[in-house]
Amino acid sequence: MSVVVDSIKENPVEEFLRTDRLPHVWCTGCGIGTTVNCFARAVKECGIPLDELAIVSGIGCTGRVAGYLKLDSFHTTHGRPIAFATGLHLANPKLKVVVYSGDGDLVGIGGNHFIHAARRNLDITVILLNNFTYAMTGGQVTPTAPLDSIETTTPYGVFEENFNLPHLAASCGAVYVARWTAYHVMQVKKAMVEALNKKGFSFIEILSPCPTIYLRRNRLGSAIDELKYYKEHSVIQHGADTREVGITVRRPEKIIVGKFVDIEKPDYLTAMNKHLSEVLGDKYVRWGE
Amino acid sequence: MAEVKCITADPKGVLTGVHYMDGNHAACEGALAAGCRFAAGYPITPSTEVVERFSARIPLVGGVFIQMEDEIASSICLQGAVWAGLKAMTVTSGPGMSLMLEHVGLAACLETPCVFVNVQRGGPSTGLPTLPGQADMQQCRWGSHGDYEVIALSPSTVQECFDFIIDAFNLAEIYRVPVFFMMDECVGHMTEKVVIPEADKIKVVERRYTSKPPEEYLPYKPDPDLVPEMVKAGDGYRIHVTGLTHDEKGYPVINAQAQHEMVWRLVDKIEKNAPKIWRYEEEDIEGADVVVLSYGISARVALKAIEMAKERGLKVGRMRLIVVWPFPEPRVKEIASKVKAIVVPELNIRGQIAREVERIVEGTCRVMRVPHAGGTVHDPERILDAIMEAVK
Ligand SMILES: Cc1ncc(C[n+]2csc(CCOP(=O)(O)OP(=O)(O)O)c2C)c(N)n1
Ligand code: SF4
Ligand SMILES: [Mg+2]
């Protein structure tokens, strides 16, 4: 018996995707694609013209995001997308530059660039997908892996302390900091819209299931189990003290999510133009205005 | 072949006049005259004066200097700036250059036109921070992993720090490659007269942007000269650029065929265009028994040795490489067939350029290395010894 499909509904985010590159590389159940869907919807909603938006990724499963979005998109080197984005943004401040990459990429090998970009309050958005592992290379320990996680390079369990990313970003100077999970699709989209429209360094951490590697190796069940866990154990606490939001053990009783920081502060270029105008007067050639 | 669009230098960036300055400052002025409006760097002796001057000058000209958190960041930050439409450079020395190498490969792969200035000091490791070396000449050619080609120039005088860095920027735009400007501590810190011409006398090559509409444009489809036309972010082309092996669309393709096509083109675009890139200076080659081949500060020291040899009645010619990579292979071969020996003084002890000469001459004439570990320049007597030995 054949099934006749008379109308195939168009995917609402298709216009933002490089459909000629599909199917994508991500596994069934992976949270990355879900977040890309949120991002495409956020792009549609944020009001920024598509030609003024650029996306930069590093290397990893999440690092592949740039390659599927129909924007000016740059797939750079492992850990360095923020440094590339810095140049892109400063050279053409009319572009809204988004960095979209993994936990290992942005705060492992790329940690130095992350803290300095936040400190400088560069007007860029950083979206970090935290799957608690170096997924693309098969599941080695990352600086976000909670205690006791089993990774290929910590076969007896993690004993190092991990990063509390919202606190790291906030204490380095980020003006917008939020954390959500791949379960919270509406909130993720809304946070992305807010971050895109925020002047200064905005940061979103998204906890995301990696069923193929992290969940399987840690016997945490399927992607659905992980999403259920996010649903049942997330506690929305906007404005939470970021010192209190660390995820120190696997599957803690409660994961604090929400918008933790949303403050105003002059971004790097505003500060540069203001300062150099004051010091140099008319001799200063203002940049990017 | 796409025409190279030439404009005159931006008058604001050009410090027309006669100056007395050091090579690092002259390199900065040359970069500005070439249209460089973005620099990212991290302090390191003996190169820092280049970006110190840039940071003072650029607010008056229009552009950005940013001191990044390290050289890894600097060497990719500048590529972001290039893809946003500016001409950009980074400036460093030994240890910093070692950190930048991954992004030399990125620039080669993305075909990002950009300039890496290396004011060479003695190595390895922290080595001799304040003293000269010429031991990064092979590093700049091969330092990043994988197959690719670069261009490298080497100035011998302060005037050339100004003049040749403009050529470095122009070559980067013409061939869309990372271009190395291989100075050394002596040239960088030596103070000499520099004549900066009027802006309209300076030839500056602009980026080769496509005139094709987005639906016809393929970011990595080369022109007949093997170099693809460029676009910048924000132009509405919505390009994808990746350091993975890619096809003409710029999309990743992970197989041997795509690798073959991409890598051969990256190499061929320099090798096949090499006759247009080679640049050297020659004197008294005809009838010479010995030719001294050198570059940078060592070529200048060699002048004294050549003079002493001539006083002793020897027939000595000289060849000075201005563009070191690609190497002027046919010309060196030709010279080798006419002389007894080629003498190669350089501030490294493993014959980084001498080996290349040896490889090329294939025993046709003797190749006399004049190694020096760096820290100072050669004693001309040692170069003279080699010349005397060569004619024995
Ligand atoms: C300089 C360098 N070191 C190591 C690698 C290998 N590598 C590729 S992806 C990756 C891990 C990525 O992890 P993460 O950023 O968390 O992304 P995920 O795959 O988990 O989404 C590593 C270590 C590389 N490409 N480059
Ligand atoms: S390995 Fe994990 S992170 Fe990578 S695509 Fe598969 S599920 Fe996603
Ligand atoms: Mg990860």
Give the CATH number, domain containing residue B337: 3.40.50.920
The predicted pLDDT at position B31 comes to 98
Same domain, B284 and B199: no
Same domain, B150 and B296: no
**pLDDT band at residue A2, thresholds of 50, 70 and 90?**
low
> Does residue A4 surpass a pLDDT of 70?
no
Listed residues B150, B179, B205: the one ending a domain: B205
Local mean pLDDT, 10-residue blocks, chain B (392 residues): 61 91 98 98 98 96 97 98 98 98 98 98 97 98 98 98 98 98 98 96 97 98 98 98 98 98 98 98 98 98 98 98 98 98 98 98 98 98 97 89
Task: Look at phi and psi of residue B201 and say left if phi exceeds 0, alpha if psi is from -120 to 50, else beta.
Answer: alpha
In a domain, B275, yes or no: no
Q: Which residue of A has its CA nearest to B13?
A: A285
The predicted pLDDT at position B100 comes to 98
In a domain, A96, yes or no: yes
**pLDDT band at residue A10, thresholds of 50, 70 and 90?**
confident
Contact B59 A67 (CB under 8 A): no
Domain total in chain A: 1
Same domain, B287 and B195: no
Domain residue limits at B199: 6-205
Supply the CATH number for residue B189's domain: 3.40.50.970
The predicted pLDDT at position A9 comes to 77
Q: Give residue ranges with CB within 6 A of ligand 1.
A: A 59-62, 78, 101-105, 131, 133-137, 142
In a domain, A253, yes or no: yes
Ligand 2 nearest-atom number relative to CA A32: 8
The predicted pLDDT at position B256 comes to 98
Contact A83 B68 (CB under 8 A): yes
In a domain, A2, yes or no: no
In a domain, A4, yes or no: no
- Residue-averaged pLDDT of chain A: 96
| Residue A210 CA, ligand 2 centroid: distance in Å | 5
* Bridge partners for A262 per DSSP: A176
Domain total in chain B: 2
Same domain, B193 and B86: yes
**pLDDT band at residue A284, thresholds of 50, 70 and 90?**
very high
Domain residue limits at A73: 14-282
The predicted pLDDT at position B392 comes to 87
**pLDDT band at residue A12, thresholds of 50, 70 and 90?**
confident
In a domain, B252, yes or no: no
Q: What is the pLDDT of residues A33-75, one digit of tens each?
A: 999 999 999 999 999 999 999 999 999 999 999 999 999 999 9
In a domain, A7, yes or no: no
Same domain, B334 and B200: no
Give how far Cα B338 sits from Cα of A80, A136, B342, B355, B389, Å: 51, 58, 10, 19, 17
Listed residues B205, B223, B239: the one ending a domain: B205
A30, A56, A59, best to mutate for ligand 1 pocket (most atoms within 8 Å of CB): A59
Ligand 1 nearest-atom number relative to CA A134: 13
Instruction: Give the closest-approach CA distance of B243 to chain A in angstroms.
Output: 6
Contact B238 A76 (CB under 8 A): no
In a domain, B254, yes or no: no
**What value, to the nearest 5°, has the Cα angle with vertex B36 and ends B112 and B219?**
25
Instruction: Give the closest-approach CA distance of B375 to chain A in angstroms.
Output: 33
The predicted pLDDT at position B1 comes to 47
- Cβ B325 vs Cβ B140: under 8 Å: yes
Contact with chain A for residue B239, Cβ under 8 A? yes
The predicted pLDDT at position A6 comes to 61
Listed residues B190, B205, B220: the one ending a domain: B205
The predicted pLDDT at position B12 comes to 79
**In one letter, which amino acid is A103?**
D
Query: Among A73, A75, A113, whose Cβ lies nearest the Cβ of B73?
Result: A113
The ipTM, to two decimals, is 0.97
Q: Is A182 in the pocket of ligand 2 (CB under 6 A)?
A: no
Instruction: Give the closest-approach CA distance of A106 to chain B in angstroms.
Output: 13
In a domain, A8, yes or no: no
Supply the CATH number for residue A163's domain: 3.40.50.970
In a domain, B316, yes or no: yes
> Does residue A234 surpass a pLDDT of 70?
yes
Q: What is the pLDDT of residues A149-191, one digit of tens each?
A: 999 999 999 999 999 999 999 999 999 999 999 999 999 999 9
Give phi and psi for B336, each to the nearest 5: -60, -30
| Residue B89 CA, ligand 1 centroid: distance in Å | 27
Contact with chain A for residue B264, Cβ under 8 A? no
In a domain, B225, yes or no: no
Contact with chain A for residue B78, Cβ under 8 A? yes
Cβ-Cβ contacts under 8 Å for A176 (sequence gap 6 or more): A194, A195, A198, A200, A201, A202, A203, A259, A261, A262, A263
In a domain, B246, yes or no: no
Contact B84 A71 (CB under 8 A): no
Distance between CA atoms of residues B383 and B390, nearest Å: 11
Cβ-Cβ contacts under 8 Å for A162 (sequence gap 6 or more): A143, A144, A145, A146, A147, A246, A247, A248
> Does residue A114 surpass a pLDDT of 90?
yes
Same domain, B160 and B27: yes
Collapsing DSSP to helix, strand or coil, B114 comes out as: strand
The predicted pLDDT at position B8 comes to 63
In a domain, B150, yes or no: yes
In a domain, B231, yes or no: no
* Bridge partners for B151 per DSSP: B179
Same domain, B144 and B10: yes
Burial (CB count within 10 angstroms: exposed 0-12, middle 13-18, buried 19+), residue A6: exposed
